[in-house]
A and B are shown apart, each in its own frame.
Chain A
């Protein structure tokens, strides 16, 4: 399983765009990149998944460069309620489990 590296924490202000970058230098050809969000005392929640280039949904965008050795989760116009831990995961299609790292604690201030 590819190891991921992401910042331990980030600070932002309401209304700003936040970009969280994750490094996964050893990503395999058939690996996907998935991001989860977790609020205190709740289970993680799936945000977005991608394989290459750009993926966008109603919550976030995911940018993946051609070499796929990193990915960037972009949250547009964050609000206080986006304060959470964000996890980047890399996994193969046949993987039976997801491995979580320590994630990035995003703190959004007014």
Chain B
């Protein structure tokens, strides 16, 4: 399968713990996006990378959230000191090229449950 891969698919953690999600984009896709989605809502933009550079971060991304894409390939999203409000599906997407054509390729997401 050559689609966007996310790991883990499901994560249950206790409030206050740190969690990390990994995203492997489609090979040679320059852009990588992170979104968050809660029940009944559309995906909310969190941040995006062009190669290894993080070019935009949403104000939704508090100081407890950090994302990296160290070599311009896979990316990680870390949430420190998790809160119950962080429970959501975290979606990763990638796209080729240096401009946004509107076509993003999404992974199946990582579902986080904070107890």
Report which A residues bind B (CB closer than 8 A): 32, 34, 41-46, 49, 85, 87, 89, 91, 93-103
Contacts and interface: CB of A to CB of B under 8 A. Distances in A.
Contact of A91 (B44, B89, B91, B102): B102
A102 to B, nearest CB: 5
Nearest to B47: A97
A96 B42 contact: no
B110 to A, nearest CB: 10
5 contacts: A43-B109, A46-B103, A49-B103, A100-B35, A101-B42
Given A43-B91, A43-B93, A43-B109, A99 B104 contact: no
Contact of A100 (B4, B42, B107, B111): B42
B108 A45 contact: no
A87 B42 contact: yes
Interface of B: 4, 33, 35, 40-45, 48, 55-56, 89, 91-93, 99-109, 111
A34 B102 contact: yes
Given A44-B91, A103-B42, 4 more contacts: A34-B103, A93-B99, A97-B100, A102-B41
B33 A97 contact: yes
B100 A102 contact: no
- Shortest 7 CB-CB contacts between residues of A and residues of B: A43-B106, A100-B42, A34-B102, A97-B45, A46-B103, A100-B43, A43-B91
Given A34-B102, A43-B91, A43-B93, A100 B108 contact: no
A42 B109 contact: yes
Nearest to A43: B106
Nearest to A101: B42
B87 to A, nearest CB: 15
B48 A49 contact: no
